[in-house]
Amino acid sequence: MDGFLLDRGFQVLLTAYPEAQQMLDYGALDLHPFEPGALVRHGGKFQRLVDPWRRPRHLLATAFSSVGTLGDKLRIAGLRRRVGRFTLEELYERPEQTTAERLRDEGFSTRIIERFFRPFLGGVFLDRDLETSSRLFAFVFRMFASGDAVLPSQGMGAMARQLAERLPPGTVCTNSAVARLEEHGVHLADGRQLSGKAVVVATESPAAANLLGEPQPPAGRSVTCLYFAAERPPLDEPILVLNGEGLGVVNNLCVPSLVSSTYAPPGAALVSATVLGIPAIDDHHLESSVLQQLQEWFGNQVQTWRHLRTYRIPFALPAQSPPALSPVAKSPRKRDGIWLCGDYLDTASIQGAMVSGRRAAEEILSTQAVE
Ligand SMILES: Cc1cc2nc3c(=O)[nH]c(=O)nc-3n(C[C@H](O)[C@H](O)[C@H](O)COP(=O)(O)OP(=O)(O)OC[C@H]3O[C@@H](n4cnc5c(N)ncnc54)[C@H](O)[C@@H]3O)c2cc1C
């Protein structure tokens, strides 16, 4: 839009996702990393929390930041070691509780939970209450600890385009809603019919339930993202900013054009602000509350920012709270001859969506080989 590259909501690829490593050509995606860790807004200033193994030069800033106690920072190191010991499959089989319970049981102080984990994991799970499964927490923690959070230079959509380009031309047909399913074909809303050896429903879980005539799943997690054009970036490094105060609507913020300059035209910066949930106020009032909060963070420069776009995404992620999650066992699924895949059948992530899709494909190929 106007030379800015807007992802549909703030999102990142974690390079440690094993399935993404197998499926994507990282080199061709021209990936640009965020600085590991975060700047936490608390007490009227920004405090740094980074992984000292990956950024030893920030060890002291992290050790002395008031985001958590020294004990908390040692606990993070211990947790990092422990989650690194298991395979992902083993992590998904570990005893399950909510992430909030797990953090308390690990001995983390209220201070680091409120100032760091709630905004950070709240932004990842779109769940500031941290009711999400501790298995998801272990998975996400492991992925952040063992790789980079990155943006492809041509935007997150470049991953989908790369996968689609490997298929024969004409295989993918967009803007063609499916209205009805059969075991060997689909009826599109525009009246066309398509047939094939197998049908795989790869939609979000509410759409899959509609197509299969099943009961609706629990409400998903929602999110709202506002994009602004700035003359100069409000930060001087490509790092995630977290709201550690719990006040105001913005949970997290970043400047994607500092991560990859392709996100903004020359001489401009792109600012992305994330609000969890779908606010009950209209876009105009939402924009004002966001800018008011960010003016407290970054001063009067915010007055010159131009609003580009607001995305409200009611079903961004499936809710994966215990006892719901047993991803290894759930994927893939088959109903009445129709296959299902998607993030809701594995971990709610790019990794989970890709694993689930691959498993469905492998099952279909092995079934058809027998037939
Ligand atoms: C704002 C946001 C930020 C995120 N951030 C991250 C992140 O940083 N890292 C990460 O790993 N994950 C992130 N995620 C999650 C990740 O994007 C999803 O887990 C993943 O895209 C799910 O893939 P999927 O293939 O299961 O489903 P989807 O990507 O939801 O695809 C389902 C598709 O089905 C289509 N569809 C629905 N109904 C029909 C129908 N009747 N006929 C035809 N088509 C239909 C939809 O239009 C959609 O294109 C984020 C998600 C959002 C929304």
Q: Give the confidence band of 330 by pLDDT, cuts at 50, 70, 90.
A: low
Q: What are the tens digits of pLDDT across the range 149-166?
A: 999 999 999 999 999 999
Give the CA radius of gyration of the chain. Answer: 21
Distance 344 CA to ligand 1 centre (A): 10
Instruction: Using the mean position of ligand 1's atoms as its centre, give its distance from the Cα of residue 62 in Å.
Output: 35
Average pLDDT over every residue of 59-69: 68
Question: Whose alpha carbon is nearest atom 4 of ligand 1?
Answer: 11
Share above pLDDT 70 across residues of the chain, in percent, rounded to a whole number: 93
Cα 260 to ligand 1 centre (Å):
23
Q: What is the pLDDT of residue 52?
A: 59
The minimum-distance atom of ligand 1 relative to the CA of 8 is 1
| Confidence label for 140 from pLDDT (cuts 50, 70 and 90) | very high
Tell me the best of 349, 354, 358 to mutate to test the pocket of ligand 1, counting ligand atoms within 8 Å of each CB and taking the most.
349
pLDDT, position 370: 58
Q: Which CATH architecture has domain 220-317?
A: Alpha-Beta Complex (3.90)
Instruction: Give the rounded distance of the alpha carbon of 40 from its chain centre.
Output: 19
Closest CA to 47 of 113, 111, 116, 128: 116
Closest atom, ligand 1, to C-alpha of 208: 38
Pick the atom of ligand 1 nearest to 156's CA: 17
Gap from CA of 1 to ligand 1 centroid (Å): 22
Give distance in angstroms: CA of 218 to centre of ligand 1.
17
Domain ranges of the chain: 13-151, 178-217+326-370, 220-317
- What average pLDDT is seen over the chain? 90
Architecture of domain 178-217+326-370: 3-Layer(bba) Sandwich (3.50)
